[in-house]
Amino acid sequence: MKGEGFTTSIVHSDRRGDVEHRAIHKPVHQNVAYGYGETAALCHAFQTGGYTYGRQINPTVGALEAKITQMEGGLKTVCFSTGMAAIGTMMFALLRAGDHVVSSAFLFGNTNSLLRSFDERGVAIDFVDATSVDNVAQCLTERTRLVFVETIANPRTQVADLEAISALCADRGIVFVVDNTMTSPYLFRSVDIGASLVVNSLTKYIGGHGNALGGAVTELGNFDWQTYDNISPEYRSGNSSLWGLTQIKKKGLRDFGAALGPEAAHHIAIGSETLALRMRQQCANAAALTDYLQAHPKVARVHYPGLAEHPQHERAGRLFRLPGALFSFELDDALDVFAFLDALDVVIKSSNLGDNRTLAIPVAHTIYFEMGAQRRASMGISESLVRISVGIEDTTDLIADFERAFSSLEAK
């Protein structure tokens, strides 16, 4: 309901919607087909986006979509099997050969790789440093259809110039897509700065428990799709704010088929109930750990928007409720990073992020290995950079774990 807090509105969302038998959770509808006694009812379902076939529609997934829409303050959401499916399908549905896209250069590695595939297939992509709107403005052309940025980049935590880029896109009639995965709708709502579409990997903070993959695209209602040439004639009817998302759902989800399963949707929906609680603890832990590491004589650099030294510290403070739960750091050159990580006991060596457990990964040797040293250097990723996705553990246990790792190195 209007004016209600973030958590209240999410935990009561199912109950207020269309729920069977007054169940408090939307049940898991492990179901593919929907049958009708009357032919006319079946035809009506096909013509109005009703219950037809599980690749396009499922009640459990629908209940999750309603929650994401509510969290983001948007108009409507479509869920996908993963965050990458959400991004890839959205791009596939909205772009044509000859179009041009501007993307942040500081990007989740697989998104970067995906955009390069689009580039090889006729959609030109420019990667720019999106911490300043000038870099985006400089490469806009008449063919630019879409600008794509992440809120806080992983792993170096650069914060995009979100407000100015959004204003620029609005002025030029360009679709502005924000990947909100790193902040989640609890820390940041792209609707407030006028973005067109927001993408979330539900696998990360929204689900939170590292037990289900999922993705979502939410229409925020700020873009006039009547001006967007790539919308096919069959989707140019009804509320024009939804034309883009309708095309993503039909040409994308239906035809490409990366549907979210009901079981995963249920896990993610349960996880989303505690998003705010988890985020508060995770961000508090991140603040404590980065303060500790920043002051440590064996640490060369810490990258976290919550630190006063961070280049976009002020911007992060203005835009985000809290500065996030992910940071990266570099040890002194003389220290062995792998030995340091091996000495951690609470912190797990793992590539996920947004989990309840604190996870560490040496970036250059893993998630950014494929792109090679030259591209890593151009993205500001040093060979010794370690990324930490901070979990909900007790703060003192995390600090003690890092302390133990430092002293084990000294003992050698």
User: Residues in the site for ligand PLP, rule: CB under 6 A?
Assistant: 82-84, 108, 111, 150, 154, 179, 181-182, 201, 203-204, 213, 215, 353
CB 43 to ligand PLP: min, Å? 36
Nearest approach, Cβ of residue 226 and ligand PLP (Å): 29
Q: How far is the CB of 53 from ligand PLP (least distance, A)?
A: 24
Comparing CB distances to ligand PLP, the nearer of 84 and 361 is 84
CA 136: distance to chain centroid? 21
- How far apart are the C-alpha atoms of 299 and 330, rounded to whole Å? 6
The DSSP annotation for 381-396 comes to --TT-EEEE--SS-HH
Minimum distance from CB of 225 to ligand PLP (Å)? 24
We find the least distance from the C-beta atom of residue 190 to ligand PLP, in angstroms, to be 13
User: Could you tell me the smallest distance in angstroms from the CB atom of residue 49 to ligand PLP?
Assistant: 25
Burial letters 319-341, b for 16+ CB under 10 A, else e: bbbbbbbbbbbbbeeebebeebb
Nearest residue (CB) to ligand PLP, 71 versus 182: 182
Q: How far is the CB of 351 from ligand PLP (least distance, A)?
A: 9
Structure tokens at 292: 């500790």
Which residue, 172, 118, 166, is CA-closest to 144?
Answer: 172
List 197's β-bridge partners, or say none: 177, 219
* Cα torsion through 301, 305, 308, 314, rounded to 10: 150
Task: Provide the minimum distance between the beta carbon of 284 and ligand PLP in the complex, in angstroms, as a whole number.
Answer: 21
Looking at the Cβ atoms of 205 and 223, the one nearer to ligand PLP is 205
Contact 65, 246 (CB under 8 A): no
> Which of residues 166 and 183 has its CB atom nearest to ligand PLP in the complex?
183
SS3 67: helix
Which residue's CB is nearer to ligand PLP, number 100 or number 387?
A: 387
> CB of residue 203 vs ligand PLP: minimum separation in angstroms?
4
Whichever of 201 and 281 has its CB closer to ligand PLP, that residue is 201
Residue whose CB is less far from ligand PLP, 174 or 217: 217
Select 135 or 389, whichever has its Cβ closest to ligand PLP: 389
In angstroms, the Cα distances linking 323 to 8, 31, 160 are: 23, 40, 13
Give the residue nearest to ligand PLP (CB): 83
Instruction: Compare residues 51 and 74 and give the one whose CB is closer to ligand PLP.
Output: 74
Query: Which residues make Cβ contacts (< 8 Å) with residue 235, sequence separation at least 6?
Result: 243, 246, 247, 250
For residue 13, the tally of other CB atoms under 10 A from its CB is 21
**Which of 186, 158, 157, 163 is CA-nearest to residue 176?**
163
Produce one character per residue of 24-45: b if its CB has 16 or more CB atoms within 10 Å, e if not: eebebbeeeebeeeeeeebeeb
